[in-house]
Amino acid sequence: MTNLVHDADMIAASADDWRERDLAVLWHPCTQMREHPNTLPLVPIERGEGAWLIGRDGRRYLDAVSSWWTNLFGHAEPRIARAIANQAMQLEQVILAGFSHAPAVELAEQLLAIAPTQAGREPLTKVFYADNGSAGVEVALKMAFHWFHNRGEIKRTKFIALENGYHGETIGALSVGDIPLYRRVYAPLLCEAMFAPSPDAYMARPGETAADCAERAASGLEAMLQQHAGEVCALILEPLVQCAGGMRMHDPAYLRRARALCDTHGVFMIADEIAVGFGRTGTLFACEQAGVQPDLLCLSKGLTGGFLPLAAVLATQAIYDGFLDDSRERAFLHSHSYTGNPLACAAALASLAIFRDDDVLARNRVTAARMAELAAPFAALPHVAEIRQTGMILAIELARDGNRHTPFDPALRIGLLAYRAALERGVVLRPLGDMLYWMPPYCIDNAQLQLLAQVTAEVIEEVTACV
Ligand SMILES: *Cc1c(COP(=O)(O)O)cnc(C)c1O
């Protein structure tokens, strides 16, 4: 008994020690470091197991945000872990210019075989690798621009993106993002982009349906394309869910209209499925729900099951052919040192095998229905403005009163309060503004979902009690 207590003390002390050592040397992403350690507790993690993260102090945390939307089948999933270990013993890395390896080839073959298709459209036939989502977006933007440049259409220098969209943090990716918090300071550094109205159904006007909203946004896009005919090389968007923009969801009809408008105006459609790909929205890819195929498809995050950084940009044959020439300048000379890293490709292949072996999408339909059931009672709470869901993403929008047009005073930092209240109860929620969401690993079971719902209810009550 005494020993046990002693051990627990030792573990807690070692967690404190790690916090101190961390803050002495690390600069954390997306963090005002001033808030550590007092406002924000830093949580040293020792290991992961399924949907759980296990802290150095022995506490367990349910990872309801899939570790920044990367994890698919749980932490330390043995099949993926083994695939990486086996690959590491054979070939850990090789330059991909002039050289090739089986994992890169097999992964490209498999991705192209499962990529979205559209009747009457030439399929996606080529894969270009990068090593994170933002880099993948850069690749797609540069390809679109360069393709037109190769054809002598040098006036096509602009991109159209959507209001409230997000595509990453590097300068090019940030240029097509519309989230002021990330963008504002860097505005003088960014390249030219135009923002078309978001089809976000939460912004529907009184009496409008989600489909009306999509139609109205599409008309805005059409006007923009007409006004800038010949200046635009691509439209980039996040199909079905604008994740970083607050899990805002739209009607698939928008994607069909956008696809048709891109065709009419001879502009490429870039689908950024970095967050929504690999089953998050209920289908393997979000574009499937609209029956559209983009010209360029960006994948990352869940691509490796959440184990290693990797991105893939899938392109049409027509885009690829536009770079074939005797001159090097017409070639796509973009590269990253770790392009097509064998370990990351092996992880992705293992992840795709799990989709086949475990009938993941069917199981997710059951899990998503259970999520809906468990969240339904929140709709009656006075501070819940909306509950919305697309597949394995469920969002709970909080507001000062049930009326969606009266947000909380940002100074209250409802999101931060909710984050801390959930963490104290052993659940990782990471609200975006006043919006709480569930985006759990697909392996989450019924007991874990019940814990998640219970804690969410307590958190909503606690953080809205004082306003
Ligand atoms: C996360 C994200 C990115 C950026 O990916 P990183 O790997 O974080 O650079 C791009 N687009 C979308 C839609 C994302 O959610």
Instruction: Evaluate if residue 98 carries a pLDDT over 90.
Output: yes
Looking at this protein, which amino acid is placed at residue 337? S
What is the predicted pLDDT for the residue at 467? 73
Measured distance CA(201)–CA(198) in Å, rounded: 9
Residue 432 is given by DSSP the state B
The secondary structure of 31-96 as a DSSP string is: --GGGTTTTS----EEEEEBTEEEETTS-EEEETTHHHHT-SS-BT-HHHHHHHHHHHHH-S---S
Ligand 1 atom nearest 238 alpha carbon: 13
Rg (CA), the chain: 23
- Residue 83: CB atoms within 10 A of its CB come to 24
What's the mean pLDDT in 99-104?
Answer: 98
Measured distance CA(89)–CA(378) in Å, rounded: 50
Is the CB of 289 within 6 Å of ligand 1?
no
- Ligand 1 pocket mutation pick from 285, 300, 393 by most atoms within 8 angstroms of CB: 300
Identify the residue with better confidence: 136 or 9. 136
β-partners of residue 312 are 129, 299
Q: Select the CATH number that applies to the domain covering 84-357 from these four: 3.40.640.10, 3.40.50.720, 3.40.470.10, 3.20.20.80.
A: 3.40.640.10
Instruction: Evaluate if residue 166 carries a pLDDT over 60.
Output: yes
Is the CB of 304 within 6 Å of ligand 1?
no
* Residue 459 in tokens: 């958190």
Which amino acid residue places its CA nearest to atom 10 of ligand 1?
Answer: 167
Whole-number Å distance, alpha carbon 272 to ligand 1 midpoint, is 8
Measured distance CA(363)–CA(279) in Å, rounded: 11
Measured distance CA(317)–CA(319) in Å, rounded: 5
pLDDT tens profile 310-367: 999 999 999 999 999 998 889 999 999 999 999 999 999 999 999 999 999 999 999 9
- Ligand 1 pocket mutation pick from 71, 139, 167 by most atoms within 8 angstroms of CB: 167
Percent of the chain scored above 70 by pLDDT?
Answer: 97
Ligand 1 atom nearest 272 alpha carbon: 13
Burial class (CB in 10 A: 0-12, 13-18, 19+), 184: exposed
Measured distance CA(136)–CA(291) in Å, rounded: 23
Whole-number Å distance, alpha carbon 300 to ligand 1 midpoint, is 7
What's the mean pLDDT in 73-94?
Answer: 98
Which amino acid residue places its CA nearest to atom 3 of ligand 1?
Answer: 168
* Residue 226 in tokens: 């007409």
Dihedral sign computed on CA atoms, order 421, 426, 432, 437: negative
| Residue extents of the structural domains in the chain | 43-76+360-464, 84-357
Ligand 1 atom nearest 68 alpha carbon: 1
What is the predicted pLDDT for the residue at 2? 47
Whole-number Å distance, alpha carbon 282 to ligand 1 midpoint, is 19
Is the CB of 166 within 6 Å of ligand 1?
yes
Mean pLDDT of all residues in the chain?
A: 95
Secondary structure of residue 298 in the 3-state scheme: strand
Is the CB of 134 within 6 Å of ligand 1?
yes
What's the mean pLDDT in 119-134?
Answer: 97
Largest CA distance in the chain: 79
Instruction: Evaluate if residue 461 carries a pLDDT over 80.
Output: yes
Nearest CA among 335, 331, 314 for reference residue 323: 331
Ligand 1 atom nearest 309 alpha carbon: 7
Would you say 266 and 224 are in contact if contact means Cβ atoms under 8 Å apart?
A: no
Tokens 């890395």 found at: 93
Secondary structure of residue 296 in the 3-state scheme: strand
Q: Select the CATH number that applies to the domain covering 43-76+360-464 from these four: 3.90.1150.10, 3.20.80.10, 3.30.830.10, 3.40.1410.10.
A: 3.90.1150.10
Instruction: Evaluate if residue 5 carries a pLDDT over 60.
Output: no
Is the CB of 310 within 6 Å of ligand 1?
no
β-partners of residue 129 are 312
Instruction: Identify the band that residue 15 occupies on the pLDDT scale cut at 50, 70 and 90.
Output: confident
Tokens 């009326």 found at: 403
What is the predicted pLDDT for the residue at 16? 85
pLDDT tens profile 362-410: 999 999 999 999 999 999 999 999 999 999 999 999 999 877 678 899 9
Instruction: Identify the band that residue 3 occupies on the pLDDT scale cut at 50, 70 and 90.
Output: low
What's the mean pLDDT in 80-97?
Answer: 98
Whole-number Å distance, alpha carbon 134 to ligand 1 midpoint, is 6
Is the CB of 244 within 6 Å of ligand 1?
yes
What is the predicted pLDDT for the residue at 1? 43
What's the mean pLDDT in 259-279?
Answer: 98
Would you say 203 and 213 are in contact if contact means Cβ atoms under 8 Å apart?
A: yes
| 3-state DSSP helix/strand/coil % of the chain, to nearest 5 | 45, 15, 40
